[in-house]
Chain A
Amino acid sequence: MPAPDHAALHTLYSEHHGWLKSWLRARLGNASDAADLAQDTFIRVLTARNAQTIREPRSYLGAIANALMIDKFRRKALEQAYLAELASRPERMADSPEKRLLILETLVAVDTLLDGLGERTRRIFLAVQLEGLSYVATAERLGVSVTTVKKHLIRALTHCLLLTDD
């Protein structure tokens, strides 16, 4: 990491870390969650390596923290839904904790990817991608043409590709 960035990060941290913590605390109602999220926010800035180019530190930090908060809730909701689903499938309880964690991480990623899609596009995409249905079977289930299925698949896939890192 170049030195100027390091210095910029140091300034950013010392000037705004306290502010960010209390900002988060007001929203989360919990000091230790707030401290964790504030830490995570700075880790994001650190890995983005752009500390020296930040013009409006507080609105930038606030935006990152906000996204992290949403992720946290999304993750929590998904985790609950996943555990409920596991509980109803005794055969899946045998999965190792590592495997479950990995699956949960992927579920969070996939759920985030699919967030911007319309309901029909999403259902078509999941039917093909996850259920492994053929285009014809998907078209029959949803009462649309195979051409429509393909169109929605291309739209969904392009959307996901835009949000995928190299």
Chain B
Amino acid sequence: MAQALDYRTLEAAATWYVQLNAAQPSDAQLQAWQDWLGKSQAHAQAWARVEKLQRQFGSLPADVALPTLAGVRARRRAVVKTLAMLLAVGATGWSVHESTPALALMAELRTAKGQRRQVRLSDGSQLELNSDSAVDIHFDGQQRQLRLYRGEIMVQTASDPAARPFEVQTAEGRVRALGTRFSVRSDDGQSRVSVLQHAVEIRPVDNPLLMLRLEAGQSVSFDQRQIGSAHSAAPGTGAWTQGMLTVIEWRLADFVSELRRYRPGMLRCAEGIADLRLSGAFRIDDTDTILENLSASLPVKVRYLTRYWVSIEAV
């Protein structure tokens, strides 16, 4: 029987939601939450509202919704300053932190999960950031250097009148462009490079004498000491710049972990279905639809606890 919920109960539900989404919750936390849920009808009812609200927010495309909400609010209040700021944040999706004048050549570029960004660098080179990526730009009289801290970038270098070398540095090593289009991805102690045009030279950070020249159409992974063997780049390499993810006979568990790069929150794949295989081209801008369609091609069901808490299970 539905009843009027008091402020304290709703605040408790809100607090649980905020806590559980702060990080991967521990089993003890989940148990405590379950206990709270089971304690009274009102708690369950309040949580149902949380889920309803999350579904409502989850149905909005953030790229359009944010600037729309910001714009209409600002117009309503006629506060031009707020408008410009919110629009800048909402429309571009990443924030450029103002640096001190002494570091004027340094900019920090970031994308949140689910966002991509194209940036034209001062030398005319094109930089694209994939979801959940962070890059610093260090350009000076001697060099053009990008530092990739996290995630993945695609670089299309422009020729430089001053003939400064162009280099991408990751935690694992350096990738020097030899007039080229290439992508670099860095996560879990590994860098992965794919060359689409021309060639690059790769040097692991702890092994300065080791160098590999990677040619167009090839991919390779390297860590701080070793470079793996070069192989043909997989079909669909670099397709993320067009918002696509192409997979051929991937394990579901690998596919899900790739989706996590593009989707905020918790996305779990049950162990029993981890080895199911899947092929296809997917629009990574719409992971909701990917998840929705998953059960059509595989014997799985997708359970939403909240928008940010999704679990893929056997049927």
How many chain B residues touch A (Cβ–Cβ < 8 Å)? 52
B75 at the A/B interface (Cβ < 8 Å)?
yes
Contact assessment for A161 and B64 in the assembled complex, using a CB-CB cutoff below 8 Å? no
A-chain residues with CB within 8 Å of residue B263 when the two chains form the complex: 132
In the assembled complex, the Cα of A126 lies from the Cα of B181 at a distance in Å of: 36
Most chain A CB inside 10 Å of its own CB: which residue of B56, B67, B69, B73 = B69
Task: Annotate A120-156 by CB proximity to B: 1 below 8 A, 0 otherwise.
Answer: 0011001001111111010001000000001001100
In the assembled complex, the Cα of A109 lies from the Cα of B86 at a distance in Å of: 20
B25 at the A/B interface (Cβ < 8 Å)?
no
In the assembled complex, the Cα of A164 lies from the Cα of B48 at a distance in Å of: 10
Contact assessment for A131 and B112 in the assembled complex, using a CB-CB cutoff below 8 Å? yes
A-chain residues with CB within 8 Å of residue B5 when the two chains form the complex: 161
Measured as residues with beta carbon below 8 angstroms from the partner, the interface class of chain A is: 35 or more
B-chain residues with CB within 8 Å of residue A109 when the two chains form the complex: 56
Contact assessment for A153 and B59 in the assembled complex, using a CB-CB cutoff below 8 Å? no
Contact assessment for A130 and B49 in the assembled complex, using a CB-CB cutoff below 8 Å? no
In the assembled complex, the Cα of A141 lies from the Cα of B69 at a distance in Å of: 19
Contact assessment for A158 and B7 in the assembled complex, using a CB-CB cutoff below 8 Å? yes
Contact assessment for B112 and A158 in the assembled complex, using a CB-CB cutoff below 8 Å? no
User: In the complex, how many angstroms separate the beta carbon of B79 from the nearest chain A beta carbon?
Assistant: 9
Q: Can you list 22 pairs linking A and B with CB atoms under 8 Å apart?
A: A81-B71, A82-B64, A85-B68, A89-B64, A92-B61, A102-B59, A103-B60, A103-B64, A122-B73, A126-B66, A130-B62, A130-B65, A131-B112, A132-B263, A141-B89, A153-B18, A154-B11, A154-B14, A157-B18, A161-B5, A162-B10, A164-B52
List residues of B whose CB falls within 8 A of some A CB: 2, 5, 7, 10-11, 13-15, 17-19, 22, 45-46, 48-50, 52-53, 56-57, 59-69, 71-73, 75-76, 82, 86, 89-90, 93, 95, 110, 112-115, 263-265, 308
